[in-house]
Structure 1
Amino acid sequence: MARSEDLAIWLQRTVWQRRVGSWEHEASPGLERVVEAVVAHAALGPTDEVVDLGCGSGQVSLPAAAIAHHVHGVDISERMVARLLERARAANLANVTAEATPLERFALEPRSVDVVVSNYVLHHLSDRAKAEVVRAAYGWLRPGGRLVIGDMMLGRGESASDRAIIAEKVRAFAARGPAGYWRIAKNAVRYVVRVQERPISRERWVTILREAGFGGVEVIPVVSEAAIVIGHVPA
């Protein structure tokens, strides 16, 4: 299992080290809406200590830092972390720190933060790792704290909603012509093999948060394939 996890971490780090130069220019309107929803539903206040899991170059961390007391970003890519800190300095945000660490190995002191956020990252982890990160986040959060995850949320096509989402995405890509056909083929391989992208359904996310101990768990749809799931640590 350790060797498999090491290989998965190496693959993800390699991918995101290469994408740091283009990632900020690739965001779709749908992804931007998910970012906005994560920040809004985090309900941040000026005293909040925040951790952003999979911070990238700061899509959530920077707007969160404009509100919260402190934001600590965590990302598998050293280059992403460097870019986040560069952007924070340019924005005169002195309350941003970050580290390059795989989420599966990141640790915090118990009950040391108020909010944990993550945006479009956890679908890259194995299902076991997703559950472990959620359980860890529960331990990091103070009473009354909250976990807010924005992500691609669909299952393996078992439900009618899954099939509707998949059909909608196929039609959208097909409308782009040859480039869209390539995206269909590439995404189909990822979806079937589950090498790099491993989304799970909204229902499964609710179960994972509840099993970790979170209360008041709710799912808020944002775009066809993406939603927000929120859980609260009992006060």
Structure 2
Amino acid sequence: MDGRHPDWWLDELAYAGPEHLDPTYVDGYDRKAGHDPRSDLEILRRHGLAGDATLVDLGAGTGRLTLAAARLCRRVVAVDVSAAMLARLRAEAERAGLANVEVVRAGFLGYHHQGPPADLVYSRHALHQLPDFWKAVALTRVASLLRPGGVLLLRDLVYTFEPAQAAEQLETWLAGAAGSSADGWTRAELATHIRTEYSTFNWLLEPMLERAGFRIVEATPSRDPATYAGYVCVRN
């Protein structure tokens, strides 16, 4: 735990999921995740990713978005709790000759931004590792590292259904799971996520964003299954 925090502060490494810390798992992560950053990159470009902009990628993983964004702006800070993820990201940045990528081992609750406030923050499928109390704390910290008018693009596993619909919606989600762990998330892996991780309802997450100091300007919940959401938020 960061020595600058009190003894009741959450240890994010303990909540990261052991697979994300495993170099063998990390080696196959990009294929498993199947993430194409181009659509998110276009959203960020519409909201100021260019020229002298600074972007912080929280929960950067292997850095698919980080590496693409670094070609368009002055500075990208890639933040993750997993040393294995960051080692892969750092190697890819060096291979590509991207001298404007900074790698920081930390999480939402441990990252301390250096330099002028960031213009943009990006986070994909990472906030759900935190229980709701800590999500609210984390989002307030995210707002504090952005300049006024700065933009947060948040994507995550978010439940956009009512509690009474949980069984139907979650079974729909599980029915579409990958058949092999090498090709995506299997039913067993998604079920583990539901039981042990902290995806929350959109009607809980959205007030957290607003209370943290953000204005939601775009919200894109998924349908059938209603288990994902994206938000473009502007810091007040």
TM-score of Structure 1 vs Structure 2, range by shorter chain: 0.7 to 0.9
The answer to whether the 8 Å contact 2:150/2:235 transfers is yes
| Deviation of the 1:150 alpha carbon | 1.1
2:13 aligned with 1:9: yes
2:193 is equivalent to residue 187 of structure 1: no
1:162-221 deviation line (CA, Å, top 9, x unaligned): 555423222223x849x9xx94344334413x3xx2111223222111011112443123
Structure 2 Cα separation of the partners of residues 167 and 36 of structure 1? 30
Distance 1:222 1:87 in 2: 32
Which residue in the other structure is 2:28 paired with?
22
Paired residues of 2:175 and 2:187 also in contact (CA < 8 A): no
What SS does the aligned partner of 1:220 have?
Answer: strand
Separation in 1, partners of 2:230, 2:91? 28
CA distance in 2, matches of 1:2, 1:158: 34
Identity among equivalent pairs (%): 26
Q: Secondary structure at the match of 1:50?
A: strand
Superposed, which structure 2 residues align to 1:100-115 within 5 Å?
100-108=105-113, 112-115=117-120
The residue that corresponds to 1:87 in the other structure is 92
- Counterpart secondary structure, 2:159: coil
- For 1:184, the aligned partner's letter is R
In structure 2, C-alpha distance between the alignment counterparts of 1:36 and 1:165, rounded to whole Å: 28
Question: Cα–Cα, structure 1 residues 154 and 222, in superposed 2: closer, same or farther, change >3 Å?
Answer: closer
- Distance apart, 1:16 and its partner CA: 1.5
- Out of 143, 153, 159, the residue aligned to residue 138 of structure 1 is 143
Tell me the equivalent position of 1:126. Answer: 131
Q: Which residue of 2 aligns with 1:39?
A: 41
Corresponding residue SS for 1:72:
strand
Residue type of the partner of 1:171?
A: A
Instruction: Name the CA shift for 1:156/1:187 in 2 (closer, same or farther; >3 Å).
Output: farther
Displacement of 1:58: 0.6
Residue type of the partner of 1:52? D
Q: What RMSD over aligned residues (CA atoms) do the two structures have, in Å?
A: 2.9
Residue type at the aligned position of 2:214? F
Distance in 2, Cα, partners of 1:100 & 1:133: 16
Q: What stretches of structure 2 of length at least 5 have no aligned partner?
A: 1-5
Deviations 1:76-101 (A, max 9, x none): 01121121111112122111011111
42-51 or 107-116: bigger deviation: 107-116
The SS at the match of 2:78 is: strand
Cα distance in 1, alignment partners of residues 219 and 7 from structure 2: 32
Match of 1:60 in 2: 65
Give the partner amino acid of 1:38.
D
- Once residues 12 and 216 of structure 1 are traced to their aligned partners in structure 2, the CA distance between those partners, rounded to angstroms, is 27
The alpha-carbon deviation at position 54 of structure 1 amounts to 0.6
Scaled by the length of structure 1, the TM-score of the pair is 0.81
Paired positions, count: 221
CA contact 1:110–1:139 (8 Å) conserved in 2: no
Distance 2:232 2:176 in 1: 29
- Relative to structure 1, the CA distance from residue 99 to residue 4 in structure 2 (aligned partners, 3 Å threshold; closer, same or farther) is closer
Contact 1:209 1:217 in 2 (8 A): no
Partner of 1:198: 198
Matches within 5 A, 1:167-178: 167-173=171-177, 176=179
Q: Structure 1 unaligned segments of length 5 or more: list them.
A: none
Instruction: Note closer, same or farther for the CA distance 1:98–1:166 as it changes in structure 2 (3 Å cut).
Output: same
Q: Which amino acid aligns with 2:27?
A: G
TM-score between the two structures when normalised by the length of structure 2: 0.81
Alpha-carbon distance change, 36 to 227 in structure 1, aligned in 2, over 3 angstroms: farther
Q: Specify the alignment match of 2:3 in structure 1.
A: none
